């Protein structure tokens, strides 16, 4: 059972790290007055609201990791 928790914590840690990285990448973009950023290289339009979603997902991941660590230490 302990190995399952270690595996879950590792997977959650990787996913949370990805969301934190995406949040930082999107927060550093220069958005126009409409709240969009046009990537000339890719032709992709990024919206400013996406960075909040990545931030919320990262926060939820950190909370879940904390809960799993707490339960792992308590036993």
Residue-wise pLDDT for 7-56, tens only, equals: 989 999 999 999 999 999 988 888 888 888 877 777 888 888 899 999 99
At residue 45, the pLDDT reads 85
At residue 18, the pLDDT reads 97
At residue 58, the pLDDT reads 96
How many of the other CB atoms lie within 10 Å of CB of 61?
Answer: 19
At residue 43, the pLDDT reads 81
| Long-range CB contact pairs, 44-53, < 8 A, 24+ | 50/26, 51/23, 51/26, 51/27
Beta bridge partners of 47: 36
How many domains are contained in the chain?
A: 1
Question: What whole-number distance in Å separates Cα of residue 25 and Cα of residue 7?
Answer: 27
What domain range includes position 53?
Answer: 2-74
Whether this model's pTM surpasses 0.75: yes
């Amino acid at each position: 059972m302990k190995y399952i928790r270690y595996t879950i914590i590792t997977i959650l840690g990787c996913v949370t790290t990805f969301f934190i990285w995406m949040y930082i990448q999107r927060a550093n973009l220069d958005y126009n007055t409409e709240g969009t950023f046009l990537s000339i290289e890719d032709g992709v339009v990024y919206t400013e609201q996406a960075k909040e979603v990545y931030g919320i997902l990262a926060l939820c991941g950190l909370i879940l990791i904390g809960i799993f660590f707490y339960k792992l230490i308590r036993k």
